[in-house]
Structure 1
Amino acid sequence: MIHRRADRNARRASASPLFTPHGTDRAKRRATRRQVAEATAKAHAAATSRPATTAGREMPPPLYPATGRPGPASARGSKLKLPAHRMTTAVAAGAYPFLAEGGLGAEGIYIGRDVHAEASFTFDPFALYGRIEGFTNPNVLLAGVIGQGKSALAKSFALRSVAFGYRVYVPCDPKGEWTPVATALGGTTIALGPGLPGKLNPLDAAPRPASVSAADWAGEIRKRRLLLLGSLARTVLGRELKPMEHTALDVALDTVVTRASATSRTPLLGDVAATLNDPDALDSAAGVMSGRLGDAARDLAHALRRMVHGDLAGMFDAPSTHTFDPRAPMLSIDLSRLGGGSDDTALVLAMTCASAWMESALADPDGGRRWVVYDEAWRLMRHAGLLERMQAQWKLSRGLGIANLMVIHRLSDLLTAGDAGSRGRALAEGLLADCSTRIIYRQETDQLTAAAGLLGLTSVEMQAVSHLGRGRGLWKVAGRSFIVQHLLHPHEVTLFDTDARMH
């Protein structure tokens, strides 16, 4: 009670003179309100009767009537028309901040138009490396449904990169679409297939770099050949090799290399297959640790026999008919004769051999900057042996000066490499993780969830991907996002046209 009374006394002490306390009687309150009303009326009458003057001068009449400014500039009916105003870009940036990305800079290959910034968009993974935070490698993933222009973008990379001194290698062209591009650039195309004269020996030794000793280089060549033979065997057998099978490959390769060196020629796949198919010779070469090695190598012999006498006979079991030219601006391996069937095994085996043959150029430290394009890579996801070779090349891209470009249709193609937790799935997801640049063209609605899960897309980016038009893609470069419209020169449109037969 004491606190409440003190608070009431404080309010009375701070009240204005016109405040009427509740302690007064009704008559006094009425009188007070009447006085306030009379004073207000008197003040209002005095204000209206006083002439409008300022410092002895009369106020000017209003410029416009009470209804507003007449004419088309009256701002009535949403017809406001103001005179044009010009400003510098510095002033405009201050007046309208945070509208669009600043871009990646002007250095690099011209791609097209940044849709949000309305500016030119350039890209060069070699120029961006080390300059942008989070850009840790030059590898690129390109995904998009059929007919959206992803192949045209890949070929633009190749064509326009040559002007910067870069070289382009296509180890697998399953449709033969890169042949016109290689011809236009003055490059080389090697067509492989049944009945064709072209042949490649995947056991060819790469030229030894000047900084590597002969003994070290011989060990490196042996390791590459063993990796190749192991990849071929795993692809055909559809399983991992057993310990004795690894030993059989080692012994057979060493035996073949020794014989070839004595006759001054290059070892062939046919020589390895013949050695594996001779149990007595294999046991004799293995010595005391053979343990019936010839019997354990029976499946290996049948697996490599396909490369010599099966559907790939005549392509990889003879000396190479082409010599690799490291000065050529472009080299493509046309495997269109092998890409028409539903079974991709032959195509994968051919690509494995072709990529092994190309390593002679990729391992050259003085080879300059190069693009390696894996077109239609979705067909390779189910083969762990080839994914392992691709992963090794992805990991060494910075040291070798290589930018790998993987072209697929859907992001869910990466999930076809195997079940969750499998070796194939881990390899496919590892390739994606080693791509600092992801380019996504339009995806079907049922693919958006997989794309968002693999790439970490936001809801705005998912909506944009589902509505992208032809030639327009979402570029995610080291965590930064751009919507880019790819622009083609008329000559490029003719050169890259993959729908000619449809027209």
Structure 2
Amino acid sequence: MPRQRWLGTHAGASYGEPGQDRASRKQRLGEVKRLAAEGAQRAADEASAAQHAAGDLVRPDLLPPLGEHRPLALRPLRRLRLPAHRATTDVLSGAYPFLAEAGLGADGVFVGQDAWSGGGFVFDPWVLYQRGTLTNPNCLLAGAVGKGKSCLAKCLATRSIAFGRRVYVPGDPKGEWTAVAAAVGGNSIQLGGGSANRLNPLDPGPRDGTLDDSAWDVVVTTRRRTLLGSLAESALGRPLAAVEHTTLDVALRSVVDSDSVPTLPRIVNALFEPTRGEGGASVTELTRDGRDVGHGLRRLVSGDLAGLFDGPSTVAFDPTLPMVTLDLSRIQGSDQLTAMVMTCASAWMEAALASTDGGQRWVIYDEAWRLIRQPALLARMQGQWKLSRGLGIANLLIIHRLSDLDAVGDAKTASRAMAQGLLADCSTKIVYQQEASEAGHALRQLGLSVTEGAQLPDLQRGEGLWRVGQRAFIVRHLATDAELDLFDTSSRMVDRPGPQRA
């Protein structure tokens, strides 16, 4: 009995009153917990109602790890733990499809809509260069025929005029810029086809006031000598020999001695009939060595090109106009002939653009695929690209496809290297729709990602892939009704979707 009483007393002190079974004790304990929970919830509801009435309900900035302590809070049973995942940027761009670029800012020319973010897209090479986004202001624009690249170039040019920029088109083979120049108050100089206009590509152009007489003479002589060498190599279809370079130097020097502003006919005459021996060569040797060069340049001053570049200029370049273009649509011939004409015309205009106080200017090379196929002319364009920052010029090179660069010599030649260098000197690359066979080539040439390259065949008319520095955008070009009527030549043939009307 004593032992049983000790056990009962001990059990009652630990688990409940004597005589109660385990189920009753458990039911009582549950009832106590339920009443305590109801009291706590009632107090919380009363406090919440008071805060709502006072209008100062305060929510925590961060939710507790397992959720808030309130009804219908959907508190998890345990914390969510996900394993870490590592992948390339190509894969992650698909894993997070709703992330998009913030754009290039609001300063500059409105182009259209960023297809990835839905926001507006604004571009200005001078603003982006000042910010350090670009290393140079030059641009490349490539796209298949009829996809809207021409309309984009005209919109960029005309909209930039409102920001104080000027626009120059050194060669317009199809005459598409003539109406644009007239619409903005500019001037279009027409050559060929019975026009009385004549240009002397050897004009010195406006003088740079920062240079003294001797330095200016060196600049002008170098410019003329480079132009003559490019024209001769283009006409002959081969590099000049050392003795041929000598004949050009002697001919140019002899003409300048008697006339400060030489002309191409006088250079040709000096090549055929040198008046004195010079440069380690006799008159007989100069006559023999310069014969091929003279015949190559003769086409520019006689025959089908007579009257274009065979005398002093009859028109003046007005750098104060918002736009100046050279309309070459009346000149017909082979690509080589057209390239030579564009070279002479652009040399005349670029001489006028060499002034360092001319402000910020667009120089647009339309149908440039004809120029880059001539290695000598390509070298001259590369020099123009290198000087763009110092002159405040943004060059825009318009071609059809990236494989046009492959037409410049073999893979390991200096000409191909110059073509690649010209592409590298364009910090902004705009690519409109390319054929599926061209997409891989564009991917390698521009260093695009696989995702970016896959976009090119599927781009619609008026859409382009913009590679600005190391950033990429898909942009839908937006144009007004007046712009489309003036710029979009395809709209004259068929009414189809193009750059959307703003």
TM class by shorter chain equals 0.7 to 0.9
Distance 2:255 2:37 in 1: 116
2:464 maps to 473
1:91 maps to none
| Structure-2 change in CA distance of 1:287 and 1:111 (3 Å) | closer
2:301 maps to 308
Identical residues among aligned pairs (%): 53
Distance 1:463 1:294 in 2: 58
For the Cα contact (< 8 Å) 2:373–2:405, is it kept in 1? no
1:385 maps to 376
Write out per-residue CA displacement over residues 51-77 of structure 1, whole angstroms, 9 at most, x where no aligned residue: 6972278899xxxxxxxxxxxxxxxxx
Write out per-residue CA displacement over residues 344-381 of structure 1, whole angstroms, 9 at most, x where no aligned residue: 11211111111111123221010000000011111222
1:276 maps to 271
Distance 1:198 1:307 in 2: 15
For the Cα contact (< 8 Å) 1:308–1:314, is it kept in 2? yes
1:458 maps to 449
Distance 1:478 1:325 in 2: 34
Runs of 5+ unmatched residues, structure 2: 1-21, 42-95, 495-502
Q: Matches of residues 53-202 of structure 1 in structure 2 within 5 Å?
A: 54-55=34-35, 99-133=99-133, 135-202=134-201
- Once superposed, what is the RMSD of the aligned Cα atoms? 2.3
Q: Matches of residues 223-238 of structure 1 in structure 2 within 5 Å?
A: 223-238=222-237
| Structure-2 change in CA distance of 1:286 and 1:105 (3 Å) | same
2:285 maps to 292
1:351 maps to 342
Runs of 5+ unmatched residues, structure 1: 1-41, 61-95
Offset at residue 500 of structure 1 (A): 4.5
Write out per-residue CA displacement over residues 10-37 of structure 1, whole angstroms, 9 at most, x where no aligned residue: xxxxxxxxxxxxxxxxxxxxxxxxxxxx
Q: How many residues align?
A: 417
Distance 2:221 2:460 in 1: 49
Write out per-residue CA displacement over residues 233-279 of structure 1, whole angstroms, 9 at most, x where no aligned residue: 00000011111111111111111112224xxxx3210011111111x
Offset at residue 130 of structure 1 (A): 3.7
| Structure-2 change in CA distance of 1:210 and 1:272 (3 Å) | same
Offset at residue 50 of structure 1 (A): 6.4
Structure 1 residue identity aligned to 2:142: A
Offset at residue 396 of structure 1 (A): 0.6
Distance 1:225 1:44 in 2: 113
TM-score by length of 1: 0.79
Offset at residue 127 of structure 1 (A): 0.5
Secondary structure, counterpart of 1:470 in structure 2: coil
> Does 2:313 align with 1:333?
no
| Structure-2 change in CA distance of 1:375 and 1:47 (3 Å) | farther
For the Cα contact (< 8 Å) 1:208–1:214, is it kept in 2? no
Structure 2 residue identity aligned to 1:487: L
Secondary structure, counterpart of 2:259 in structure 1: helix
| Structure-2 change in CA distance of 1:139 and 1:48 (3 Å) | farther
Secondary structure, counterpart of 2:465 in structure 1: strand
Structure 2 residue identity aligned to 1:316: F
User: In the alignment, which of 404, 408, 414 is matched to residue 417 of structure 1?
Assistant: 408
Offset at residue 98 of structure 1 (A): 7.1
2:61 maps to none
Secondary structure, counterpart of 1:54 in structure 2: helix
Distance 1:426 1:56 in 2: 84
For the Cα contact (< 8 Å) 2:336–2:370, is it kept in 1? no
Structure 2 residue identity aligned to 1:124: D
User: In the alignment, which of 234, 258, 267 is matched to residue 262 of structure 2?
Assistant: 267
Distance 1:97 1:308 in 2: 61
| Structure-2 change in CA distance of 1:407 and 1:309 (3 Å) | same
Distance 2:121 2:135 in 1: 20
For the Cα contact (< 8 Å) 2:271–2:291, is it kept in 1? yes
User: In the alignment, which of 418, 441, 445 is matched to residue 436 of structure 2?
Assistant: 445
User: In the alignment, which of 367, 376, 381 is matched to residue 376 of structure 1?
Assistant: 367
Distance 2:97 2:236 in 1: 60
Distance 2:306 2:102 in 1: 55
2:312 maps to 319
Distance 1:287 1:347 in 2: 33
Distance 1:423 1:307 in 2: 27
For the Cα contact (< 8 Å) 2:277–2:286, is it kept in 1? no
Structure 2 residue identity aligned to 1:245: E
Distance 2:138 2:23 in 1: 82
Offset at residue 132 of structure 1 (A): 3.3
For the Cα contact (< 8 Å) 1:176–1:336, is it kept in 2? yes
Distance 1:97 1:454 in 2: 26
| Structure-2 change in CA distance of 1:50 and 1:474 (3 Å) | same
Distance 2:97 2:450 in 1: 23
For the Cα contact (< 8 Å) 1:140–1:439, is it kept in 2? yes
Distance 1:324 1:482 in 2: 38
Distance 2:405 2:444 in 1: 12
Distance 2:467 2:37 in 1: 68
For the Cα contact (< 8 Å) 1:139–1:404, is it kept in 2? yes
Structure 2 residue identity aligned to 1:178: W
Structure 2 residue identity aligned to 1:111: V
Distance 2:428 2:422 in 1: 12
| Structure-2 change in CA distance of 1:464 and 1:50 (3 Å) | same
Distance 1:367 1:259 in 2: 31
| Structure-2 change in CA distance of 1:428 and 1:47 (3 Å) | farther
For the Cα contact (< 8 Å) 1:312–1:346, is it kept in 2? no
TM-score by length of 2: 0.79
Distance 2:329 2:147 in 1: 22
Structure 2 residue identity aligned to 1:271: R
Secondary structure, counterpart of 2:162 in structure 1: helix
Distance 1:467 1:52 in 2: 70
Distance 1:464 1:472 in 2: 10
For the Cα contact (< 8 Å) 1:193–1:315, is it kept in 2? yes
Q: Matches of residues 486-497 of structure 1 in structure 2 within 5 Å?
A: 486-497=477-488
For the Cα contact (< 8 Å) 1:308–1:317, is it kept in 2? yes
> Does 2:357 align with 1:366?
yes
